[in-house]
Amino acid sequence: MSKLFSEYKLKDVTLKNRIVMSPMCMYSVENKDGIATDFHFAHYVSRAAGGTGLVILEATAVQEVGRISEFDLGLWNDEQVPALKRLVDGVHYHGAKAGIQLAHAGRKAVLPGEIVAPSAIPFDEKSAKPVELTKEAIKEVVADFKRAAYRAKEAGFDVIEIHAAHGYLIHQFLSPISNRREDNYGGPAGNRYKILSDIIKAIKEVWDGPIIVRVSATDYAHGGLQLEDHIPFAKWMKADGVELIDVSTGGLVNVAPPVFPGYQVPFADEIRRGAGIATGALGLITRGEQAEEILCNERADLIIIGRELLRNPYFAKEAAETLGETIEAPKQYSRAWK
């Protein structure tokens, strides 16, 4: 059997293969209430029907002020749970596992009213200036990640991903570019890591399942985080109980990274080797053979597919065919699934 279509265990959760749908914001909550819609059900369940092993929902805000936009999913109240439960049940129906990315946008929120950040530094010259979070407000953010994790458990999710990448709030704390605090949440790397550690530990109080974390392994900017900074971060995450790191890059500053097939894979490889923790690789992975090479050369443990799954919900089926594998069809589609 190919490695791509071998099972993989995240703690007590067994994935039927190593293909993961990357969380990608859809900005499709038209009522601005954070509640998943029929679009979200069709969007995510169709990827499960297509053979994806783990479907991770887009950034889901733990606070109303933590949304990237007014059209984001949310888990800041109990009314948002039933629609997500229906969606999770649909993903499970097709034999996939369901994950959710819990997030807070921080200074990258584009919302009416006040936005918040570790320090009062705007994202760029066109962005609103955020309000610096007080220590009490930081504790409330941590508590809201915990509450959202409990709601995720109520909805039936198998995996929680913490969004600490792409310039959003936790990434803003991690990077010295956006964190100029002089208390125990700023300064040395251990202090800048504190909010992420607090969030992981708080979630573990209500959640027994696997926790993964998405990071941006480089800020692509002078004075920002580089790959070598993420090795100690990854070791601390492992010690805190994180199962796997989903390795992306960029987003903290308005810089376009160099993009080419597999451009983020070396970062996943280095963090995996340097910290001794499982990683997920992403970044223009579009073919089954490409994914298989990454896994067989032990450069990552999971393959996280983004835009290719937007283009093709049946990526898993086509990857299986190129690797000489046969995967089970949804019974309703079996007459056409050769």
Catalytic residues: 163, 166, 168
Q: State the greatest distance between any 2 C-alpha atoms of the chain, in Å, as a whole number.
A: 64
Angle, CA 169 vertex, CA 166 and CA 171 arms, to 5°:
50
Residue 150, CA distances (Å) to 7, 44, 80, 136, 200 in order: 27, 21, 12, 21, 13
Cβ pair 263, 222 in contact under 8 A: no
What residues contact residue 135 under an 8 Å CB cut-off, 6+ apart? 183, 185
As a whole number of angstroms, the distance between CA 76 and CA 148 comes to 6
- SS3 category, 10: strand
Kindly state the DSSP code that residue 334 receives in the 8-state scheme: G
Angle, CA 192 vertex, CA 125 and CA 275 arms, to 5°:
115
Neighbours of 322 (CB within 10 A): 15
